[in-house]
């Protein structure tokens, strides 16, 4: 599948969340699956904005968890379309964590998602 890189990339979509105990594992840090859910949601919003319509997630690639995120942290998910094909979009997603004291943030998780633009029947449609 041939994709062309966008230069500059599409607009950045930003979603935020306060990490609470239901989002956390037994270590008191954000579940990896919850991080993936947040990243998938942000990638879907970014792709839908770019495609101006419905999208579905087709592939998740190279998700790296670099720092744990404790309960009480504020997380910000940033996603942007960086490449497009006939009906697919490649979205880079970053999950940033801000410490409880608000003294700074760090990149905690990064990943790449592929989403496909679809019509009302769920069939791929051209961008």
Q: What is the mean pLDDT of residues 70-94?
A: 97
pLDDT-derived band at 1 (thresholds 50, 70, 90) equals: low
pLDDT at residue 103 tops 80:
no
Average confidence score pLDDT of the chain: 95
Residues of the chain above pLDDT 90, percent: 87
User: Does 99 map to a domain?
Assistant: yes
Query: Could you tell me the CATH number of the domain that includes residue 103?
Result: 3.10.129.10
Cα 13 to Cα 17, 22, 44, distances in angstroms? 14, 25, 10
Q: Specify the pTM.
A: 0.92
Asked if 110 and 96 touch (Cβ cutoff 8 Å), the reply is no
Structure tokens at 4: 């062309």
User: Does 34 map to a domain?
Assistant: yes
Question: What is the C-alpha separation between 100 and 92, in angstroms, rounded?
Answer: 26
Range of 21's domain?
A: 4-117
Q: What is the mean pLDDT of residues 47-69?
A: 96
pLDDT at 55: 98
Q: Give how many domains the chain has, as a whole number.
A: 1
User: Does 124 map to a domain?
Assistant: no
By the 10 Å C-beta count (0-12 exposed, 13-18 middle, 19+ buried), 61 is classed as exposed
């Amino acid at each position: 599948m041939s994709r062309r890189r966008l230069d500059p990339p599409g607009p950045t979509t930003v979603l935020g969340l306060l990490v609470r105990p239901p989002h956390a594992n037994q270590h008191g840090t954000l579940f990896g699956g919850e991080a993936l859910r947040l990243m998938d949601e942000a990638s879907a919003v970014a792709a839908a904005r770019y495609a101006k319509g419905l999208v579905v997630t087709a592939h998740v690639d190279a998700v790296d968890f670099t720092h744990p995120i404790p309960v009480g942290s504020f997380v910000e998910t940033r996603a942007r379309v960086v490449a497009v094909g006939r009906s697919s979009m490649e979205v880079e997603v970053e999950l940033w964590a801000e410490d409880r004291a608000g003294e700074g943030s760090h990149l905690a998780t990064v990943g790449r998602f592929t989403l496909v633009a679809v019509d009302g029947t769920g069939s791929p449609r051209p961008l």
